[in-house]
Structure 1
Amino acid sequence: MIIRSAIRSDLGAILRLLRELGDETPTHPSAVRMSSAAVRAWTRIETDEDRTVLVAERRGQIIGTLDLLLVANLTHDAKPWALVDNVVVEAGSRRGGVGRALVDDAVDRAARAGCYKVEVLSHERRHGAHAFYTTLGFDNTTEGFRRYL
C-alpha cells in the first residue's frame, strides 16, 4: 500500500469513497457524485497549496482518502494549524492499517509545515471513529458546534 497526494484521475474513486461517509441530514443531503460542480471544486482543491487530498492505493486501487488543510494563523507565534477531514476507508479494507497510514502521513505533513496542532472533527454518532482517533494520539478536548447554511 502507498499513501500519495491525489491527482485528477483519482476523483471518481475519491467520490465513490466519500459516499460511504453518509453525512446526510434531512435538510442537507450529501449528494456526493461526479458533476461539473465536483470537477470545479477539485480544480480549486488541486491548485490550493494549503490543501492536500491523500489517497491510499493498493494494487492500483484507491482504498482510502483523507483531506488535509493547512490554516494560516495569528496565535501561537503565527504557526499554522492543520485540519483533517473526510477520512474514509473502503469497507473491505478497514481495520488493516489504511486509516492509520493516512492519518500518520497527514500528521507528518502538518509537522513538516510547522503546524502547532492537528484537528480532526468527527460526528458525535461515530463512536468507532472516536476510538480510532484516540488510539492515534488525538485527545477529545473540545465540544464543537455547527450551523448549516
Structure 2
Amino acid sequence: MIIRAAIRSDLGAILRLLRDLGDTTPTQSGTVRMSSAAVRAWTRMEGDPDRTVVVAERRGQIIGTLDLIVVANLTHDAQPWAVVDNVVVDAGCRRRGIGRALMDDAVDRAARAGCYKIELLSHESRGSAHEFYRALGFSDFVEGFRRYL
C-alpha cells in the first residue's frame, strides 16, 4: 500500500469513496458523476499549498482518502494548526490499517508544517470512528458546534 498526495486523475476514485459520507449522489449506474463543480473545486484544492488530499493506493486502486488543511494562526507563537476532514476507507478494506496509515501520514505532514495541533470533527453517530480516533491519540474533550449555510 502507498500513501501519497492525490493527483487529478484520482478524482473519480475519491468521489466514489466520498459517497460513503452521504454527500454525493450516485448516477443510475451507481457511479459518482464528476460534475463541473467538483472539477472546479479540485482545481482550487490542488492549487492551495496549505491543503493536501491524501490517498491510500493498493495495486492501482484508491482505497482510502482524507483531506488535510494547514491553517495559518496568530496564537501559539504564530504556529499553524491542522484540520483533517473527509476520512474514508473503502468499506471492503476497513480494519486493515489503512485508516491508521492515512491518519499517521496526516499527523506527520502537520508536524512537518510546524503545526501545534491537529483536529477533526466526527458526527456523534459514528461511534466506531470515535473509538478509532481515540486509539490514534485524539481526545474528545471539546464540544463542537456547526452551522450549515
Corresponding residue for 1:46?
Answer: 46
TM superposition score normalised by structure 1: 0.94
Aligned to 1:123, the other structure's residue is in SS state coil
- For 1:1-149, list aligned pairs within 5 A: 1-23=1-23, 30-31=24-25, 33-149=33-149
Distance in 2 (CA, whole Å) between partners of 1:76 and 1:22 is 36
> Taking every aligned residue pair, what percent have the same amino acid on both sides?
80
Distance in 1 (CA, whole Å) between partners of 2:33 and 2:141 is 34
Distance in 2 (CA, whole Å) between partners of 1:18 and 1:93 is 15
TM superposition score normalised by structure 2: 0.94
Task: Please state how far the C-alpha of 1:141 moved relative to its aligned partner.
Answer: 1.4
Q: Which runs of 5+ in 1 are unaligned?
A: 24-29
Aligned to 1:63, the other structure's residue is in SS state strand
Q: Number of aligned pairs?
A: 143
Moved over 3 A (4+): 30-33
Task: Please state how far the C-alpha of 1:33 moved relative to its aligned partner.
Answer: 3.8
Q: Which runs of 5+ in 2 are unaligned?
A: 26-31
Corresponding residue for 1:27?
Answer: none
Distance in 2 (CA, whole Å) between partners of 1:34 and 1:126 is 27
